[in-house]
A = this chain, B = another copy of it.
Amino acid sequence: MPIKKIAILGSTGSIGLSTLQVVQKLKPSFQIVGLTAYQNIQVLARQIKAFKPKLAAVMDEGLVANLKNMVKGTSTKIRGGQEGVVAVAGESGADLVLSAIVGAAGLKPTLTAIQKGKDIALANKETMVMAGEVVTKAARKSGSKILPVDSEHCAVFQCLVGSAPESIYKILLTASGGPFRNLNRKRFNKITLKQALNHPTWRMGPKITIDSATLMNKGLEVIEAHYLFHVPFGKIDIIIHPESIVHSMVEYIDGSVLAQLGTTDMQIPIQYAMTYPSRQKAPVARLDLTMIRQLNFQKPDRAKFPCVDLAYEAGKKGGTYPAVLNAANEIAVSRFLKGDISFVQIPKIIDKVLAKYRPLTNGTLDGILNADLWARTEARSIY
């Protein structure tokens, strides 16, 4: 296998760090040519020294001088701002761009990489949620392959290998159900931030951990799956599976169901996206079902978790609605993380923003970004 050149957008976050661990393990098959971070220049500088990328960028332009100082003597070129991040995506010479920036900020650089025909390992689900139509159209045009890194979509992707789209009966996205799966609905008023940040099975960043607690994470994944796999919303279901061992499933028209299972280690889907279509040996903790003994499944309680229905509704409406959903959710979650609103106010804010929204465009990139901005302003002003 020739050396694959990789750029990581968001290399200091949870997924970025795991990706660098995979690169470390699979040396010399991979080479890092680009890295970006939002503000964490301490970690970024260490990564630059270790992996010697051609280009690196820090989103916060005020930190460019500091970063340059920290990596003096390396040959890495340092850039700043969104323009810098977009440059890493498009101009670092990567074969594969791992898109792991959290939230809407990942859209523009990811789309740039797609337009330049780079293959994408997509961990930034907002790209697909906000701009699924724009992104898939651009990928078709440039020939860019989009390889999902989300454990659920990576599972579906693996279950679909070699299958014709018309043979899909249903995509079944599994959800741990989060920390409040068994909590009585009446006690949702009293949920604390600490409780919400305590995910039962996965260790992840704070934003996605809250999204898991509200099940909005699964709602966003439904929209992502719709665009990634070109399957209508009526054929995408959510199934609660507290152990997070079955990462998702595909049910076929002949009654067969294929499932992908594994330990809750993001290095597995990250590596699959990196080595696809082949697989490479990895020193990961192996799944032993005889130790786990039991896998449980149940229907999601949509009354307890209104974010699921909100996501399906926005997804079915299409156009700029998913972007509005996503932006309202980002603001609501960041307000909850700051202690500004309560847990149950998260879906209420999103619901109010969606109800008030009147789309002006049918989903061009500018229209999407405007809708995103509008929804953020609205979501900040409620409560």
Report A's interface with B, CB cutoff 8 A: 158-159, 161-164, 167, 169, 172, 239-240, 246, 249, 251-263, 265, 267-268, 271-272, 275, 277-282, 284-287, 289-290, 292-299
Residues of B within 8 A of A163 (CB): 161, 279
> CA separation between A297 and B290, bound complex, in Å?
5
Q: Are A253 and B279 in contact (CB under 8 A)?
A: yes
**Contact A268 to B255, CB < 8 A, known contacts A279-B164, A279-B167:** yes
What residues of B have a CB within 8 angstroms of the CB of A254 in the complex?
A: 268, 271-272, 275, 279-282, 284
| Closest Cβ neighbor of A294 among chain B residues | B296
Asked if A281 and B253 make an inter-chain contact with CB atoms under 8 angstroms apart, the answer reads yes
Question: Which of B258, B275, B279, B282 is within 8 Å of A260, CB to CB?
Answer: B258
Bound form: Cα–Cα A287–B254 in Å: 11
B260, A257: Cβ atoms under 8 Å?
yes
Q: Kindly list 4 other residue pairs between chains A and B, CB separation below 8 angstroms, not including A240-B290, A254-B284, A256-B268.
A: A253-B281, A255-B268, A259-B259, A293-B296
Chain B residues whose C-beta falls within 8 Å of the C-beta of A159 in the assembled complex: 258
* Contact in complex: B164, A162 (CB < 8 Å): no
> Which of A256, A278, A285 counts the most chain B CB atoms within 10 A?
A256
Most buried by B among A162, A259, A284: A259
Look across to chain B and name the residue whose beta carbon is closest to the beta carbon of A283: B255
| Contact, CB under 8 Å: B294 / A297 | yes
- Contact yes or no, B162 A161, CB < 8 A: yes
CB pair B290 A255 closer than 8 Å:
no
CB neighbours (8 Å) of A275 from chain B are 254
Q: Which residues of B contact A280 (CB under 8 A)?
A: 253-254
Q: Output the least CB separation between A164 and chain B (Å).
A: 6
Choose from B255, B268, B287, B290 the contact partner of A262 (Cβ within 8 Å): B255
Whether B277 and A253, one on each chain, are in contact in the complex, defined by CB atoms closer than 8 angstroms, is no
- Contact B260 A265, beta carbon cutoff 8 Å: no
User: Which chain B residue has the least Cβ–Cβ distance from A168?
Assistant: B279
Instruction: Give A11 Cβ to nearest chain B Cβ, in Å.
Output: 22
Asked if A294 and B295 make an inter-chain contact with CB atoms under 8 angstroms apart, the answer reads yes
With contacts A162-B162, A256-B262, A256-B268 taken as known, whether A299 is within 8 angstroms of B295 at the C-beta atoms is: no
Q: How far is the CA of A287 from the CA of B189 in the complex (A)?
A: 36
Contact of A257 among B255, B257, B282, B287 (CB under 8 A): B287
**A258 CA / B298 CA spacing, docked (Å):** 21
